[in-house]
A and B are shown apart, each in its own frame.
Chain A
Amino acid sequence: MQLTRRKLIKSGLLASALACGGGIAAVLAKRYGLVPPDSGGLYGLGETLTYASQRILFSHQSLAREFSHNQISTNFPGFGTVMPDYQPYFFSMVEGFKDWRLVIDGLLAKRLMLSLSDIKQLPSRTQITEHICEEGWSAIAEWTGVPLSNVLNVAGIRPEARYVLFACVDGHWGSIDMADALHPQTLLAYRMNGQDLSVAHGAPVRLRVERQLGYKSLKYIARIRVVDSLKAIGKGLGGSDPEAGYSWYAGI
């Protein structure tokens, strides 16, 4: 192997160019919010590349595919929790969730506390979309709910807002960025296939995040909070699924 001076200079220049490029890319990614909360660790590079590229290349408003009524699946499993093991939830369920209240606070002009009927009175959206599970199955259903953006806009989003956090009755919690939170198909859904959401599918209100895998569409929403950082919450990974090893961003 001959290492000529010319070769050495050439590879040196290439290595410094790559290092500089990488450094600049990292700074820019941070500056423009393209770094997901689980960017550290063994798989962090892949998570960051996927999240950053999808956020850069795809318009924030591009809609997930919608389907026709005759494509609705008859076989749509309730997955994960199908009955939260929590007494107050059970009592509320028996009463048709009459005492259920959703608190929405954080980086908003005002704190909201909404009952199920309050939510049903807000302008709604109905969409027939495909739920794609990270395990490989998929099923189509019609969802009706209030776009999350409507609720957040009613409360007034403060400019520092970067993420929306969700806590669920079954102990799950998660978060999405503002691009998905304000996406027109992101719903607080209370109806599935024309009927009130069943307990197996997350009654009384579940999240629909149509441009990500099914596990981001959290069920049994109990509380919503708008934040500017996920660092101080739990392990700082943005949700119970990321803490269990799943990608925070599930657009692929």
Chain B
Amino acid sequence: MADCVARPAVSPQGIDTTDRRHSALIRITHWINTASFLMLLVSGVAILLAQPALFWGETGFFGDPSLINLPLGQNEAQTSWGRSLHFLGGWIWIINGGIYILSGLVTRHFQKDFLPERNQIALTTVREILSNQSLFRKSSIEEFYTYNLVQRLAYLTAAFLLAPLTIASGLAMSPGLVAVMPGLVEAFGGYQSAHTVHFFAMGLLVVFFVVHVAMVTLRGFLPRMRGMVSGRIAS
């Protein structure tokens, strides 16, 4: 190892690359979130296959006017394990997500790292970020250590809009909970509406998930994976 040259701790841009990009709490909750999200996704599809049709309003059954008939083969045999896995995943997702959100609020992680900075907010910024030249190139060192406007908006939307919406619409389908809080299902316009909202909010979270994984892969897979595993971007 004689030829091993010590890496400069401080990059030319003045970023200390030995710093941990993400705290241990964020790294742990990130991977628990990934695992439980995949549990929810797989089991959610298993449940959906029993009735691949979406309705609006309070009630709905095959033959009633539906909003959308999904092009999926009907399979009623997957709901038993599907439901059990879904709610196990749901418990893990909600508790883990709650810890993440609470700690992020306490440490002001969201305000510091995710609320767009005033000088970032411009349509031209968005256009520039999404242009072909910058979208598909490898990130610069600084870009590994901060979030651009589009990333910030995407993360905030997923964490503070889509996740709460899937949870609320999911709980609105619980006959036990709704007996205590009828307003929850009424806010969605009925049980079947809540089911439909749950589907679309989940769909948007899946879009987020796919784009997230694609961008991590395109813009520097290994540094970002290191950043979310050991915490250090630099190898």
Query: How distant is the Cα of A127 from the Cα of B62 in the complex, in angstroms?
Result: 24
Most buried by B among A59, A64, A67: A64
B interface footprint on A12-23 (CB within 8 Å = 1, 0 otherwise): 000000000000
Tell me the interface secondary structure of chain B in the complex.
helix
Tell me the interface secondary structure of chain A in the complex.
loop
Instruction: Verify if B88 is at the interface (C-beta below 8 Å from A).
Output: yes
Instruction: Verify if B51 is at the interface (C-beta below 8 Å from A).
Output: yes
How far, in Å, is A160 (CB) from chain B's closest CB? 25
Asked if B174 and A62 sit within 8 Å, CB to CB, the answer is no
B interface footprint on A22-65 (CB within 8 Å = 1, 0 otherwise): 00000000000000000000110111011000100111001111
Given A58-B176, A58-B177, also A136-B48 (CB < 8 A):
yes
Asked if A251 and B174 sit within 8 Å, CB to CB, the answer is yes
Asked if A138 and B191 sit within 8 Å, CB to CB, the answer is yes
Given A73-B59, A137-B60, A247-B83, also A45-B91 (CB < 8 A):
yes
Instruction: Verify if B178 is at the interface (C-beta below 8 Å from A).
Output: yes
Among residues of A, the one whose C-beta sits closest to the C-beta of B84 is A43
A interface footprint on B72-89 (CB within 8 Å = 1, 0 otherwise): 000010011101110111
* A211 CB contacts on chain B under 8 angstroms: 175-176, 179
User: What bracket does the count of chain B residues touching chain A fall in?
Assistant: 35 or more
Query: How distant is the Cα of A49 from the Cα of B176 in the complex, in angstroms?
Result: 14
A interface footprint on B35-77 (CB within 8 Å = 1, 0 otherwise): 0000000000001101101000011111110000000000010
B interface footprint on A64-78 (CB within 8 Å = 1, 0 otherwise): 110100010101110
Asked if B59 and A45 sit within 8 Å, CB to CB, the answer is no
How far, in Å, is B132 (CB) from chain A's closest CB? 40
How far, in Å, is B149 (CB) from chain A's closest CB? 34
Asked if B179 and A58 sit within 8 Å, CB to CB, the answer is yes
* B185 CB contacts on chain A under 8 angstroms: 65
Asked if B175 and A43 sit within 8 Å, CB to CB, the answer is no
Asked if A136 and B51 sit within 8 Å, CB to CB, the answer is yes
Question: CB within 8 A of A252: which of B64, B177, B230?
Answer: B177
Asked if B61 and A139 sit within 8 Å, CB to CB, the answer is yes
* B175 CB contacts on chain A under 8 angstroms: 64, 132, 210-213, 250-252
Instruction: Verify if A246 is at the interface (C-beta below 8 Å from B).
Output: yes
How far, in Å, is A208 (CB) from chain B's closest CB? 12
* B88 CB contacts on chain A under 8 angstroms: 43, 45-46
Among residues of A, the one whose C-beta sits closest to the C-beta of B191 is A138
Asked if A244 and B80 sit within 8 Å, CB to CB, the answer is yes
Asked if B47 and A54 sit within 8 Å, CB to CB, the answer is no
Query: How distant is the Cα of A250 from the Cα of B62 in the complex, in angstroms?
Result: 23
User: Within A121-161, which residues are at the interface with B (CB < 8 Å)?
Assistant: 130, 132, 134-140
* B191 CB contacts on chain A under 8 angstroms: 130, 132, 138
How far, in Å, is B42 (CB) from chain A's closest CB? 14
Question: CB within 8 A of A77: which of B47, B50, B61, B173?
Answer: B61
Query: How distant is the Cα of A140 from the Cα of B192 in the complex, in angstroms?
Result: 12
- Give me the interface of A with B, judged by CB distance under 8 Å: 1, 42-43, 45-47, 49-50, 54, 57-59, 62-65, 67, 71, 73, 75-77, 130, 132, 134-140, 210-213, 244-247, 250-252
| Interchain residue pairs with CB less than 8 A apart (30) | A43-B81, A43-B84, A43-B87, A46-B85, A46-B88, A49-B91, A54-B177, A57-B180, A58-B176, A59-B180, A62-B179, A65-B178, A65-B179, A65-B185, A73-B59, A130-B59, A130-B191, A134-B83, A136-B51, A138-B58, A139-B61, A140-B59, A212-B175, A245-B80, A245-B81, A245-B84, A246-B80, A247-B87, A251-B175, A251-B177
Give 9 nearest A-B pairs by CB, closest first.
A251-B176, A46-B88, A245-B80, A136-B51, A43-B84, A135-B50, A252-B174, A137-B61, A64-B179
A130-B59, A140-B58, A140-B59 are known contacts; what are 18 more A-B pairs with Cβ within 8 Å? A46-B85, A64-B179, A67-B58, A73-B59, A73-B61, A75-B64, A130-B58, A132-B191, A134-B50, A135-B76, A136-B51, A138-B58, A211-B179, A212-B176, A245-B84, A246-B83, A252-B173, A252-B176
